[in-house]
A and B are shown apart, each in its own frame.
Chain A
Amino acid sequence: MTVIEARGLRKAFGATVALDGVDLQVAEGRILGLIGPNGAGKSTALNAILGLTPYQGELRVLGRDPWNERDQLMRDVCFIADVAVLPRWMQVSQALDYVAGVHPRFDRAKAESFLAKTDIKHSSKIRELSKGMVTQFHLALVMAIDARLLVLDEPTIGLDILYRKQFYDSLLNDYFDRSRTIVVTTHQVEDVQHVLTDLMLINRGRIVLTCTMEEFESRYLEVKVRPEQVAAARALKPIHERQALGRSILIFDRAVDQKLDRQQLATLGDVHTPSIADLFVALMGNHAGAAKGAAR
């Protein structure tokens, strides 16, 4: 079943084109990472999917038109933006009461059991919680909703590594199953690389790459080339080359040369799957040079 289907999705802010004819299909049970530099159009795409912004083109989410059916859609869709969107004046217990009051798929007992594993008190106001606790709380609210699509927009920004790991562990172990679909954007790509089932790289409002993680791992290979093999490696037409600690690191795309295989490349140096961030830089070329820092 297709959860998200977009054709020619376009959104412009004045002369700035945020989404430039994006085609997108996300099937049920997938975890899609939407990766790109600042201003690439990730959040605009998510906002369109959530019915938060009008758009041109065709877009259906769970069979609905998000812009015209946002409130009905939100019965089946959950959304976590960065940690600062929970109302700071609200008490934890009030947030639980409110979500239970308005959301037909919210299971309060489940939320309470998630909260019981944390140090969050019901009487605390959101502003009294640390960033990590706010994220824990938001995740507890969302995980207690029996939704079919979860959209995460930089959900762990500003959190330390422990909270980030805990966030994704909870998401996968306590929430995700094959009936749910997750779309996530993040600059902390290394946190999600092993979580994703699908990858979409986006830049300047256009899709640069879309593939499953299996395809990603079989298609792209990164070789830390031994110095004496550099010339031979370059002859195999890598799509990108960079230097690190005095060694040349080359990325190969097996779609460019299908005869390339891991054994052949292993004769040139250490072979492994590139990080999404390194591949992104490779595909963006000079344009994305500055974006690499952001994508890491």
Chain B
Amino acid sequence: MSTQSNAVPDSPLDSQALPPATLSETRPLYWSVRRELWENHSIYVAPLAIAAVYLLSFTVSAIWLPNNMREVWMPHTMREMATLKVADTLIGLAMPYTHATALVGMVAFLVGIFYSLEALHSERRDRSILFWKALPVSDLTTVLSKAAIPLVVLPLIVLAVSVVLQQIMRLLSMAVLVMNGGSAAPLWTRLPLSDMELVTLYGTVVIVLWHAPIYCWFLLVSGWARRAVFLWAVVPWLAIAAMENIAFHTSFLGRMLHGRLLGFGEAAFDLKDKNGVPIDTHFIPLTQLTPGRFLSSPGLWLGLIVAAAFFLAAVRQRRYREPL
């Protein structure tokens, strides 16, 4: 054991001589987001994995299946091209690409939900909250970094994965067509991938803004519940909706919840053509986007206000949180 004389070596230092403690305001946020990616590999692995599975299926279909089966997946053979109307051709061409994006988006949504449910719970469960709170990172920065995963990082991953996946799919399709003695030109000229990517970008932003209160609610519950976070996050809503239905024979809450999950479509897209006929959502032309209507939608702004309230409550709550 060291003695007290060892304990106090003669090296008096002026406490005022410490170097200035300055860091850019965004640096802790940047590193906190990186920390989330280190801890939660599923944020990028799951979208990549589903993209890989989809690409594999698409490849198998394109290369190995007989022509009639291949046409289900790749209805853009030269023979079929020649017999279809322009609009049908477009939808046929776009379908697998739209499916790919939708699948990646749905997986990202699920990852975002389960991430949010864990985000402020796991640090209390494994007691690491004591380590994080011993560092000069504010609760605001910490919760912001966690909210950034479903609200910023996952959408960016969806966009990147979708774009790369669609490009690979198109190159693969072209290669198969050429190897079968056909022409790859229609896939350049008739498949408006850049338009589809713009729709994907728009749709991703729309969906994230629309779902923001869902993610923020789950973050709040993950910081509050001691256990069974998923049940605490979901069951109260279902119970209240059921009670409303039984007691008053109404379903306002149920419709509200349904609208919060899927209502972005009506606000952000015009899903009928000029004749009032529903359009095929496998290919949504740019003309059907309604950003003005979306931005003036009360559902958007009410949702964002609620999301901000949940977010601030989660920040405040983290101040009081201790290990479980």
**What separation, in Å, do the CA atoms of A148 and B13 have in the docked complex?**
11
**What separation, in Å, do the CA atoms of A253 and B281 have in the docked complex?**
88
Count A interface residues, CB 8 Å. 55
- Within 231-273 of B, Cβ neighbours of A (below 8 Å) are at none
Given contacts A146-B19, A172-B2, A178-B11, contact A81 B28 (CB under 8 A): no
* Nearest Cβ on chain A to B127's Cβ, whole angstroms: 5
Q: Mark B100-125, 1 if CB is under 8 A from A, else 0.
A: 00000000000000000000000100
**What separation, in Å, do the CA atoms of A146 and B136 have in the docked complex?**
13
**What separation, in Å, do the CA atoms of A178 and B13 have in the docked complex?**
7
* Nearest Cβ on chain B to A137's Cβ, whole angstroms: 11
Indicate if A23 sits at the interface (CB-CB under 8 A): no
**What separation, in Å, do the CA atoms of A52 and B133 have in the docked complex?**
8
Pick the contact of B134 from A79, A98, A104, A169 — CB < 8 Å? A79
Indicate if A99 sits at the interface (CB-CB under 8 A): yes
Given contacts A94-B38, A104-B23, contact A88 B126 (CB under 8 A): yes
Of A189-197, A222-230, A244-252, the stretch lying at the interface with chain B is A189-197
* Nearest Cβ on chain A to B135's Cβ, whole angstroms: 5
* Nearest Cβ on chain B to A183's Cβ, whole angstroms: 14
**What separation, in Å, do the CA atoms of A71 and B143 have in the docked complex?**
14
Are A165 and B1 in contact (CB-based, < 8 A)? yes
Of B29-37, B61-69, B83-91, the stretch lying at the interface with chain A is B29-37
Indicate if B292 sits at the interface (CB-CB under 8 A): no
Given contacts A94-B38, A98-B35, A195-B7, contact A103 B135 (CB under 8 A): yes
* Nearest Cβ on chain A to B36's Cβ, whole angstroms: 11
* Nearest Cβ on chain A to B12's Cβ, whole angstroms: 5
- Within 70-94 of A, Cβ neighbours of B (below 8 Å) are at 70-81, 84-91, 94
Chain A hits for B320, CB < 8 A: 53-54
Indicate if B22 sits at the interface (CB-CB under 8 A): yes
**What separation, in Å, do the CA atoms of A148 and B16 have in the docked complex?**
10
Q: Mark A41-72, 1 if CB is under 8 A from B, else 0.
A: 00000010010111000000000000000111
- Within 1-24 of B, Cβ neighbours of A (below 8 Å) are at 1-4, 6-9, 11-15, 18-23
Are A85 and B11 in contact (CB-based, < 8 A)? no
Chain A hits for B11, CB < 8 A: 177-178
- Within 45-82 of B, Cβ neighbours of A (below 8 Å) are at none
Indicate if B137 sits at the interface (CB-CB under 8 A): yes
Are A173 and B6 in contact (CB-based, < 8 A)? yes
Are B8 and A176 in contact (CB-based, < 8 A)? yes
Chain A hits for B1, CB < 8 A: 165, 168-169, 191, 194-195
Given contacts A52-B133, A84-B127, A101-B27, contact A213 B19 (CB under 8 A): no
Chain B hits for A1, CB < 8 A: 15
Indicate if B183 sits at the interface (CB-CB under 8 A): no
Chain B hits for A54, CB < 8 A: 320
Are B128 and A195 in contact (CB-based, < 8 A)? no
Are B136 and A177 in contact (CB-based, < 8 A)? no
Are B137 and A71 in contact (CB-based, < 8 A)? yes
Indicate if A29 sits at the interface (CB-CB under 8 A): yes
Chain B minimum-CB-distance residue to A142: B134
Chain B hits for A104, CB < 8 A: 20-23, 136
Chain B hits for A80, CB < 8 A: 134
Q: Mark A164-183, 1 if CB is under 8 A from B, else 0.
A: 01001100110011110000
**What separation, in Å, do the CA atoms of A54 and B134 have in the docked complex?**
16
Pick the contact of A177 from B9, B30, B137, B323 — CB < 8 Å? B9
Chain A hits for B139, CB < 8 A: 71
* Nearest Cβ on chain A to B204's Cβ, whole angstroms: 28
Given contacts A52-B133, A99-B135, contact A178 B38 (CB under 8 A): no
Given contacts A169-B2, A177-B12, A194-B1, contact A103 B127 (CB under 8 A): no
Chain A minimum-CB-distance residue to B129: A85
**What separation, in Å, do the CA atoms of A165 and B28 have in the docked complex?**
35
* Nearest Cβ on chain A to B249's Cβ, whole angstroms: 43
Chain B minimum-CB-distance residue to A104: B21
* Most chain A Cβ neighbours within 10 Å, of B130, B134, B135, B323: B134
Ranked nearest first, the 10 interchain pairs of A and B with the lowest CB-CB distance are A101-B31, A179-B13, A79-B134, A71-B138, A87-B128, A104-B21, A74-B136, A85-B130, A102-B28, A75-B21
Binding site for A on B (CB under 8 A): 1-4, 6-9, 11-15, 18-23, 27-28, 30-32, 34-35, 38-39, 123, 126-128, 130-131, 133-139, 141, 319-320, 322-323
Additional 19 contacts, C-beta under 8 A, given A98-B34, A99-B135: A50-B134, A71-B136, A71-B139, A74-B133, A74-B136, A79-B130, A84-B127, A85-B128, A85-B130, A86-B128, A104-B21, A104-B22, A104-B23, A169-B2, A172-B7, A178-B13, A194-B4, A195-B2, A196-B4
Binding site for B on A (CB under 8 A): 1, 28-29, 31, 47, 50, 52-54, 70-81, 84-91, 94, 97-99, 101-105, 146, 148, 165, 168-169, 172-173, 176-179, 191, 194-197, 213
- The 6 sampled A-B contact pairs (Cβ below 8 Å) are A81-B134, A90-B39, A94-B35, A97-B34, A173-B9, A179-B12
